[in-house]
Amino acid sequence: MSSGKREEAQPLATTSPPGSENLLYLTDDQLRRGIEAMFFAYRGFTADPDRILERHGYGRAHHRAVHFINRQPGTTVNNLLDILGVTKQSLNRVLRTLIEDGLVESRVGTRDRRERHLYLTEAGRALENELSEAQRRRMRAAYRAAGPEAVAGFRKVLEHMMDPELRRQFHSIREGR
């Protein structure tokens, strides 16, 4: 298999465009490099929080919950389920430990008393900040090193990589309430 140079080994190849325009950045090899870059970068992206979480006895699922509760204080369980894209059983396990440990407070809704509104406690905010701080530090370094135009491009590509539904949710997250 290894023999030759080109990509001939691919039987179902979709290699070069037939119209053969000058879109070098769309070759299969460039796309593969992008895929690998995404893989390695995501590892870096989660490395710092992972270390912190381990010290506290939590996992990534806890991080995600804490992050989005901080982002939308008072959010309901159902809303969080939509954002995180997991089952309620899975989320519940995580939320239960966070509530037991006093990082998250669950208040029964006033308008609709079936709903539980979630808030970070002081301790919860402290953990969130520790995690976020570490992640922002890395992000800031990457942004700074790459420069503003690169950041704009980065954000643009990421947005187009999302599923349309997730993209809506991404845009529906705002400051404050």
Partner DNA sequence: AATTTACGTCAGCGTTGTTGACTTTCCAAG
Partner DNA sequence: CTTGGAAAGTCAACAACGCTGACGTAAATT
CA-wise closest residue to 33 among 21, 22, 45, 24 = 24
Nearer to DNA, 22 or 89 (CB): 89
Residue 87 interacting with DNA (CB under 7 A): yes
Nearer to DNA, 59 or 147 (CB): 59
Residue 76 interacting with DNA (CB under 7 A): yes
The residues in 112-131 that bind DNA, with binding defined as CB under 7 A, are 112-116
Q: To the nearest whole angstrom, how small is the minimum distance from the Cβ of residue 60 to DNA?
A: 4
Nearer to a second copy, 67 or 116 (CB): 67
Which distant-in-sequence residues (6+ apart) come within 8 Å of 143 by Cβ? 151
Q: What is the C-alpha separation between 26 and 116, in angstroms, rounded?
A: 47
Residue 92 interacting with DNA (CB under 7 A): yes
Question: Are 117 and 106 a contacting pair, CB within 8 Å?
Answer: yes
Residue 96 interacting with DNA (CB under 7 A): yes
DSSP 3-state assignment of 175?
coil
Residue 58 interacting with DNA (CB under 7 A): yes
The item of DNA, a second copy, none sharing an interface with residue 166, based on CB under 5 to 8 Å by kind, is a second copy
Question: Are 142 and 158 a contacting pair, CB within 8 Å?
Answer: no
Which distant-in-sequence residues (6+ apart) come within 8 Å of 119 by Cβ? 69, 73, 74, 104, 105, 107
The item of DNA, a second copy, none sharing an interface with residue 144, based on CB under 5 to 8 Å by kind, is a second copy
Give the interface with DNA as residue ranges (CB under 7 A): 57-62, 64, 76-78, 81, 85-96, 106, 111-116
